[in-house]
Amino acid sequence: TQSLSGEEFKARVQRAKQYIASGDVYQLVLSVRFAGKHTLQPFECYRALRLLNPSPYMFFVDLGDTQVVGSSPEALVRLHGSTASLRPIAGTRPRGKDAEEDRANEASLLADEKELAEHVMLVDLARNDLGRVAKGGSVHVGPYQSVERYSHVMHIVSGVQGELRDDSDAYELFAAAFPAGTLVGAPKVRAMQIIDELEPQRRGLYAGTVGYFGANGDMDQAITIRTLVFQGDNYSYQAGAGIVADSSPEYEYNEVLAKSEILRRALAMAEEGL
206 assigned to active site: yes
226 assigned to active site: yes
Q: Which of 226, 227, 235, 240 is catalytic?
A: 226
Give dist(CA 147, CA 94) in Å, integer.
Answer: 12
Q: Which of 26, 206, 237, 253 is catalytic?
A: 206
Distances (CA, A) of 150 to 72, 74, 154, 211, 215: 10, 12, 6, 21, 32
131 assigned to active site: no
| Bridge partners of residue 236, in order along the sequence | 35, 229
146-149 and 153-157 beta bridge pairing: antiparallel
Evaluate whether 170 touches 218 at the Cβ level (below 8 Å): yes
159 assigned to active site: no
- The pLDDT tens digits of the residues spanning 46-100 come to 999 999 988 889 999 999 999 999 999 889 999 999 999 999 888 888 888 899 9
Q: What is the pTM of this model?
A: 0.89
- The pLDDT tens digits of the residues spanning 181-224 come to 989 999 999 999 999 999 999 999 999 999 999 999 999 999 99
Domains of the chain listed by start with CATH number = 6-272 (3.60.120.10)
Residue 273 pLDDT exceeds 80: no
Q: Which of 33, 70, 182, 208 is catalytic?
A: 182
Which backbone phi and psi does 38 adopt, to 5 degrees?
Answer: -145, 165
Please give the pLDDT value at position 274.
64
Please give the pLDDT value at position 113.
87
Residue 271 pLDDT exceeds 80: yes
- The pLDDT tens digits of the residues spanning 105-160 come to 999 999 988 889 888 988 999 999 999 999 999 999 989 998 988 877 888 999 99
Residue 13 pLDDT exceeds 90: yes
Please give the pLDDT value at position 92.
83
| Bridge partners of residue 210, in order along the sequence | 222
15 assigned to active site: no
Residue 247 pLDDT exceeds 80: yes
